[in-house]
Structure 1
């Protein structure tokens, strides 16, 4: 089980990042709400992880705090919620916002997320309410000792922020037309900004 990674942040291709840990590159998928808080490419990063093994793939999901990972693990226990939908839910709202939505039975906010219909939202409220009674966000990941990477320089494939933002929204479950429309509106509202800011704006306005 891989529970935590500490290494050099090589690239961000939302919702996926690449971390170099002593010469081994780990691809990690993260909720956008967690990815926003990462340092810049080329800096050391620590993420706590959840490892999923399937017949056709081995996948790592990363989070900034143990509480966020705990919420993810509770979500994938819910009926009809797999890792991909859990990632989408946690990308559309922060962990604190999700917990608040469940505690206030705010089905309206939940159904705005892609892949979450009214029945799924109502089931999430019922199933998650008791599980999240003692949930707390005050459990950050702790940075390990600094790693000396010597002359290792990160190499990142560059593409346009708009294309990256559209690709990220599609990876989170939005349809191509939805993603294009949302990102176009974000570009109009935000101007010349990076992909993460476009994604943040697009998700906020969905």
Structure 2
């Protein structure tokens, strides 16, 4: 079983990336949150991994924090929530948001994710209501090496741009330039200026 990969960040796509470990490229599926905070290729990153072995394939799922990995494991215990749906949920909601959504019985927290309808959302709420007490409340997990974490204009702007459909590989250079030229830019300004550049 593979529990962690440390290597060069290769190609980053919509739902996965390649981590090059000593010349071997591992294909790692991940949420848009994790993909958006990976260092620029070909910088080194450490990604926490959940290995899923099936009859026809061995799949690797990567996470920026142990907290996100714990939520992935919890979500996939729900009938009807496979790995792909779990990543979709983690792409639209942080650990804290998922926890609040479950405690509040709010189905929309989950129906925002691709592949989750009202019925499945209801099942998630029902099955996880008594399990989330053991889950971290959000943000206390130690970040993996080489991955940006915590509140910052750069991190939040990257997440916002990823949510708008821009790949990290194209958004990061633009955002980096915007923040360099506008040292004290607010999140709103950083996003607006980046969008203006990306629209060209």
TM-score (norm 1): 0.68
Q: What is the rounded CA distance, in whole Å, between the counterparts of 2:37 and 2:130 in structure 1?
A: 29
**Is the Cα contact below 8 Å between 2:64 and 2:144 reproduced in 1?**
no
- Which residue of the partner structure matches residue 23 of structure 1? 23
Map 1:67-86 onto structure 2 (within 5 A).
67-86=67-86
Structure 1 residues 94 and 193: CA distance shift in structure 2, 3 A: farther
Q: What is the rounded CA distance, in whole Å, between the counterparts of 2:49 and 2:111 in structure 1?
A: 27
Report the CA distance between 1:192 and its aligned residue.
3.9
- Which residue of the partner structure matches residue 65 of structure 1? 65
- Which residue of the partner structure matches residue 145 of structure 2? 143
Q: What is the rounded CA distance, in whole Å, between the counterparts of 1:6 and 1:55 in structure 2?
A: 27
More displaced stretch, 62-71 vs 96-105: 96-105
- RMSD across aligned positions (CA): 2.7
**Is the Cα contact below 8 Å between 1:6 and 1:46 reproduced in 2?**
yes
Structure 1 residue ranges (4+ consecutive) displaced by more than 6 angstroms after TM superposition = none
Q: What is the rounded CA distance, in whole Å, between the counterparts of 1:77 and 1:117 in structure 2?
A: 17
**Is the Cα contact below 8 Å between 1:8 and 1:43 reproduced in 2?**
yes
Report the CA distance between 1:83 and its aligned residue.
0.5
Instruction: Give the number of equivalent residue pairs.
Output: 157
The gaps in structure 1 that reach 5 residues or longer are 145-160, 168-188, 195-206
Report the CA distance between 1:99 and its aligned residue.
1.6
Structure 1 residues 68 and 56: CA distance shift in structure 2, 3 A: same
The gaps in structure 2 that reach 5 residues or longer are 147-160, 168-193
1:94-136 CA deviation, whole Å, 9 max, x = no partner? 2221122111111123222221111111111111122211211
- Which residue of the partner structure matches residue 125 of structure 2? 125
The 3-state SS of whatever aligns with 1:62 is strand
Q: What is the rounded CA distance, in whole Å, between the counterparts of 1:193 and 1:62 in structure 2?
A: 28
The 3-state SS of whatever aligns with 1:26 is strand
The 3-state SS of whatever aligns with 1:133 is helix
Structure 1 residues 105 and 143: CA distance shift in structure 2, 3 A: same
Report the CA distance between 1:141 and its aligned residue.
4.5
Map 1:32-111 onto structure 2 (within 5 A).
32-111=32-111
**Is the Cα contact below 8 Å between 2:5 and 2:48 reproduced in 1?**
yes
